[in-house]
Structure 1
Amino acid sequence: MLSILRPAVTRVMTPLGRTLARVGISPDTITLVGTFGVVASALFFFPRGQLFLGTVVITVFVFADALDGVLARMTGKGSVWGAFLDSTLDRLADASVFSGLILYFVLKDDPEIVLAGVALFCLVAGALVSYAKARAEGLGMTANVGIAERTERLVVALVGAGLSGLGVPYVLAIGLWLLAAASAFTVVQRMVHVYRQAVVR
């Protein structure tokens, strides 16, 4: 859904990509730095209750996900390995964001176990969304459908966390419940889409 913003993001990232290309930094390096930054930030700031600061820092590193692709196209160093590395580490980054939120809910003075469970469901359902697409493509089909792709999931989680960190009540809880429902719906959408390709001719 938010993939329509990719061209605009690419235009913004292009000047930085040129600078990195000139100094010889590889796309894989950007991928690794971005992932490490997201993981470290999510697991450091969120459990401590620093939701707004954590969201800002994580968002900076998330943009590396767009930058590595821009750099790969500009330098001609895109590769099958790079695509695999990027997709695999995306799963790690996503898991760290929701793990950080789970720890935040559990470690509060008044633990919110239900919301921790919702965040856990979002983590698992998000992994299923990505797996369904990858497995379908591995079988020669497509599953590029759904309302809760990776970008949407990250935006909802980070916006909710950031606004909650600024004191906006209930926004994180509402965002996680909506995201849980949207992720589950997307898994079903992709299963139905693959079923129609595989069984219904």
Structure 2
Amino acid sequence: MAKIFQVSARAGMTRVVEPIARALLRAGVTPNAVTVAGTVGVLIGALGFGARGHLVAGALIVTVFALTDLLDGTMARMSGGSTRFGAFLDSSMDRVADSAVFGAVAYWLATQNNHSGVAAALLCLAAGALVSYVKARAEGLGMTCNVGIAERTERLLIVGVGGILTGVGVDPALEIALWLLAAVSIFTVGQRMAHVYRQAQQLQPDGQA
């Protein structure tokens, strides 16, 4: 059910971003330029606003620019498919942006003496990196790994909603969102490892353990 909702939501967002993608391509903007611009926007939202305690502004900026993940992918598809460098750049910029977001959240929570919140933010950062690494490693070994309930956009949306709620006075919302996100991310790592294990067993030559 979660996967059906996830696919439906992404399909709906794709319909929204397609006209924007076409307009940008007609204007000569490349998918790689959108990738870099999206990362810069996330950095501004996280470090320029979120880390200073402007949680609502920071979360809104990060959320808007995180959605460029869908935009650059749509542009790449419309222009004939992603290049090898484009895929590499997209993945690398995602890690930069994620580090900025959770680093900024951890920093702000530390200024509030919220030690359990800091721990949750750091756990989210580590678990998120594992989610991405497991997929990249599986694909590097020739297997697929397109499973999991917590992909990058969903992870940033969860922490974004928590940041906005805390910013408007619902104090525990951000920490709750972080612990929820950490649990979901760890579950996703387990999902992906189990998925890869099943594929590896099917690909294993007879007679080998």
- CA distances 1:158-190 after superposition (whole Å, capped 9, x unpaired): 111111111123211111111111111221222
1:28 maps to what in 2?
Answer: 32
2:179 corresponds to: 177
Is the contact between residue 38 and residue 58 of structure 1 (CA under 8 Å) also seen in structure 2? yes
Task: Identify which range, 13-22 or 92-101, moves more after superposition.
Answer: 13-22
**Correspondence 1:160-199 to 2 at 5 A:** 160-199=162-201
> Which position in structure 1 is the counterpart of 2:49?
45
SS in 2 for 1:106: helix
| Mapped partners of 1:193, 1:63: distance in 2 | 27
Whether the 8 Å CA contact 2:66–2:153 is kept in 1: the answer is no
Amino acid of the residue matched to residue 15 of structure 2?
Answer: R
User: 1:77: Cα distance to partner?
Assistant: 6.1
Deviations, residues 89-117 of structure 1 (Å, cap 9, x unaligned): 11211221111100111123xx1111101
| C-alpha spacing 1:78/1:188, structure 2 compared with 1 (3 Å) | closer
What secondary structure sits across from 2:178 in the alignment?
helix
- Alignment pair present for 1:106 and 2:110: yes
Alignment of 1:85-124 (within 5 A): 85-108=89-112, 111-124=113-126
- For residue 11 of structure 1, the aligned residue among 8, 15, 25 is 15
How well do the aligned residues superpose, as a CA RMSD in angstroms? 1.7
Instruction: State the match for 2:137 in structure 1.
Output: 135
Question: Could you say which residue in structure 2 is the equivalent of 1:146?
Answer: 148
Kept in 2, the 8 Å contact 1:45–1:53? The answer is yes
Percent sequence identity over aligned pairs: 52
Q: Which moved more, 1:49-58 or 1:149-158?
A: 149-158
- Alignment gaps of 5+ in structure 1: none
Which runs of structure 2 are paired with 1:41-80 in the superposition (5 Å)?
Answer: 41-76=45-80, 78-80=82-84
Contact 1:46 1:103 (C-alpha < 8 Å) held by counterparts: no
Contact 2:149–2:184 (CA under 8 A) maintained in structure 1: yes
Residue 143 of structure 2 aligns to a residue whose secondary structure is: coil
Q: TM-score, normalised by structure 1?
A: 0.91
Q: CA deviation at 1:145?
A: 2.2
Q: 1:18 to 1:51 in 2, by over 3 A?
A: same
Residue type of the partner of 1:97? Answer: V
**2:207 aligned partner:** none
